[in-house]
Amino acid sequence: MLEALKSKCGEDSYLEQPLSYVQKRSGEQWLIGYDSQQLHQLIEQYSQQFSQLYQEKAPKILLLEQNPLKFIAAFLAAVANNCHIFLGNPHWVKPEWQQVLNQIHPDLIIGELASIIEP
């Protein structure tokens, strides 16, 4: 399957560098319903934020973002920066949030609900 992806993409770099494809096509409107340039800018912002967290070990990111564009950007930036990423459900209630926070101890919580569930 990996070989099929490589041949479809045309270059190994797209698989090795997840952001290469987004960066290369940032001037085109390839993302239906969203601004691809804005996606690229958001990825850059998140990447910078995640790289500042990276010290001796990969940061743990809890992703709660409900905005699809911000979700994709944060997810791709976290993957590209080798972060440990955990996807949270914005509809969880307080006991569920507490359990998640106690188990993973995230370094950063991304999303509109971050201020509500901060430990």
In the chain (119 residues long), the average pLDDT of successive 10-residue segments reads 43 56 71 80 91 84 92 92 91 87 92 64
Architecture of domain 2-117: 3-Layer(aba) Sandwich (3.40)
Give, in degrees to the nearest 5, the angle at Cα 24 between 45 and 47.
20
**Residue 41 main-chain phi, psi, to 5 deg:** -65, -40
pLDDT of residue 116: 58
pLDDT, residue 83, reads 92
- pLDDT recorded at residue 106: 92
Domain boundaries along the sequence of the chain: 2-117
Q: 38, 47, 111, 110: which is closest to 81 by C-alpha?
A: 47
Residue 55: which of 30, 81, 86 has the closest Cα? 81
CB count in 10 Å sphere of residue 71: 17
Cα–Cα distance for residue pair 1/30, rounded to 1 Å: 24
